[in-house]
Amino acid sequence: MMAGKIVELAEVGGLIRDGDIVGIGGGPLHATPIALVHEIIRAGRRDLTLVLSPRSGLAPDLLLGAGCARAIEFAQVTLDEYGLPPNFRRLAQAGLIECREHT
């Protein structure tokens, strides 16, 4: 753990290991940490558990679509007026990801 230390964005993928629990902040379509998500995908991480901010959408959808996550903890996953994120919906309906809803 690198608590209290600042690291370069390119180093993030190396700090996260397969099977880790990763907290993702931001909103459905704004304040989304896309650069962080890109580094996790680029590093090829798998079997992550995503713990999301109360309203999330784009970031987890990209990680799910890239095959990075096996479980997701959330209150609401949405793209607001655009509906449900497509990867989240597809995987959840097919039972291919573990969904832990906290409403």
pLDDT tens sequence across 66-102: 999 999 999 999 999 999 999 999 999 999 999 999 9
pTM, full prediction:
0.90
Q: Looking at 17-78, which runs of residues are DSSP E strands?
A: 21-24, 48-52, 55-56, 69-74, 76-77
Sheet containing 69-74: order of strands: 21-24, 48-52, 69-74, 98-101
Distance (Å, whole) CA 78 – CA 27: 9
- In the three-class reduction of DSSP (H, G, I as helix; E, B as strand; rest coil), residue 10 is classed as helix
The two three-digit tokens of residue 13, written as one number: 């993928």
Where do the structural domains in the chain lie, given as residue ranges? Answer: 17-101
Superfamily of domain 17-101: Glutaconate Coenzyme A-transferase (3.40.1080.10)
pLDDT tens sequence across 4-21: 778 888 888 889 999 999
